[in-house]
Structure 1
Amino acid sequence: MVKLTIDLIARSSASARKKKDEGLSTYLKKLTHLYFSEKSIDEIDDLSQCRSLSVLYLYDNNISVIKNLGFAGNLTHLYLQNNQITRLENLTPLHKLSKLYVGGNKIAVLEGLEKLQELKELHMEHQRLPSGERLLFEPRTLVALSMGLQVLNISGNGLDDISELGILRNIMQFVASDNKLRDMRALSALIGSWPKIWRLELVGNPVCNKAKYRDRVIVMNSKLAILDGREVSDTEKNFLMSWKEAKDAKKRQRIEDATRIMESNQEYIMQPQRELPPVLPPNGSRWNRTAALNKVYMMPGMVGGKKKFDAVVAKSHMPASAPHGTRTNPLDSLTLGRKSYTDLERPSRNMPIPPQPPVFLPDEHGMNGYPNGEPDFNLTGHVISIS
């Protein structure tokens, strides 16, 4: 167990102080940079005598809690990578802190940085989280960092959605490699919302396997100069931007055409439907007056057809037996009661109707040539037998 103390600083700086021939107190007051990386340090003791400290290197140690840094009001750079830290805490007094390195720890939530108005760079890559967990972002901290943060490194933290980072309006460099980002549209919305982004690192995400990945990412923001470690040339950028503009123009035209068609259809649906004008029988007709009173629509074909219809109905009601001695045709009995023909049954107007042979009914004195019995007729009216 190793604790970072004033005594430890004194022992490590003894040779340097000898050369300058100055005491420990004077040395500590002037001290601006303190290097204690890879020293197996697991705790920070009271270092309040180092009031001028601006850079503190404590990476690759065993520190689990950030504490005793309240004195370091002038601290601008803090290196705490690869320790055992589980929470970002006790950093509120560091008003001048501009760069914070806490990658390789066990931090599950980005929080506790609300008072760090001067923070420009935040490196939280590859947190050692339990399987299935991902780095979370506390909303108040994001709001506090929204106007100042310029560099953010969140690589290797199991992230599949980073849309909430759109609030960081001044991001210039964004590193999110080795995550689980796969939604190209969400990524486009995020990158497009950053007006100052010029460096983007996304290697190791599923989205990189999309067709034309590089081309599609370059057109997300015209400010991009470096993508995945490769420079974006002006020629490449101009060509892809022109291609995107042409594609967007076609898309807008399709949307406008579809909107125009929908609007025209809606206007047609909203128009009042015209009613057909009534067609009435000739003036003075009883049916004309009845139709007018009842607002009945009468088809043109029905005008003048009532008498014909009444005649057909009357004929269908005639008795089956005719007066004695009247000539008749047995076929008439087959058509009694029919009101209309179908189109297939209706005879042609130009085709003459073949004459039907006369049929004689028996009178009182005999069978009209068949005195010994009554004749049988077929359907065409011809005699087929005599009984």
Structure 2
Amino acid sequence: MALDRTALPIALVIGGGAIEVVRSLQIAGLPCAVVSTPGDATKYSTRCTPVFHWDWTQPLEAHDEALADRLVAWARAQPEPPVLFYSSDQALLFVSRHRDRLQRGFRISIPDAELVEAMADKGLFSNLAERLSLPVPATTVIPPGLGDEPPDLTELGYPLIIKPERRDRGWRHICDQGGVKVKALVIEDEQRLREVWPMLAEMGRTLVAQQFVTGAESAIESYHVYSDSHGEIVAEFTGKKIRTYPLECGFTTSLSITDVADVLHAGRKLVELLDLRGMAKFDYKRAADGQLYLFEINARTSLWNHPGARAGVNIPAAVYADLTGRPRPALAAHPRPVKWVHPKDVLAARAGGMSVGRWLRFAARCEAKAFWSWRDPMPFVGMAASRARVGEFS
């Protein structure tokens, strides 16, 4: 399906959770298209063209040359080469592994292939962290095939967390805690490890065990950056989680855009150390003594791009400008304080003891809201209707 030939080059977003990336592009007035998962609320947008649906939660092998060729065929039907953005780990790895093919039709900014693999795979990331002496918590990589007995993790100390090398359908089944999904399992002691080990062993996957840095999820801070093809930092901001659901090891439901000096300093040092090109998000957790521990790096777009754009640092728009040869957008040296909220935050707030009335006042004051745009309200309406049908907000 060809788009309006009088338009600017299209920005195509692929991967899960595309709507918040689309919002950042819409703020910049850029035309958008999307290849997202069937359940993604982006499909309801009247201001973003759906190309086709694709299940990005499938194993990596499913995102193959045939998919790349299908995307390139669409790209070549456009009046100018589109700019490609990728909003999930599966989409990132797909683009990286098929970059030569995709560059026949798209303009792409992406880090070095070896670095992408090391950042996307938590086992490889552990090796990278050790080689570069990155400030990560003590970590042990658990290979598959250990049998019925769990490994001895006493050197890490309890509590600890266990997470997969990559989150996929298999992990979603394991981590489903009474219908609520978590990013990692918190293991309080050896007895708990023995309880969950049969499920973990059955996965047959490499796992990562890591020392648990105590503190609430609100102690997680992040550095967001776009470094151009010359290694110059073009756009950056810091952020902090407010709440996740569930409250521990959950998914972000509210956050704030910040301007924190030591997080900026740590992020800039890491960009230089990695010789990074492209977009990235560095996740840290601040310990009780103030030290920042690095947890992971996501070299892709994310939900943070929407509130970041409203704070004055529109990273996707800056990438688009560089790849299309257009002037870069104005980028704030010091972003405005902006809060973002997801509808599921009401569940997180209730779990933390906040009344619904108080939460509604908090949400009303948030400058950015997940799915929402006055000019394009249907993604929010469609999302709310579909989730109300299954009682997700009850």
Q: TM class, shorter-chain normalised?
A: under 0.3
Specify which structure has the higher proportion of helix: 2
TM-score, with length taken from structure 2? 0.20
Structure (1 or 2) with the greater strand fraction:
2
> Rg: which structure is higher?
1
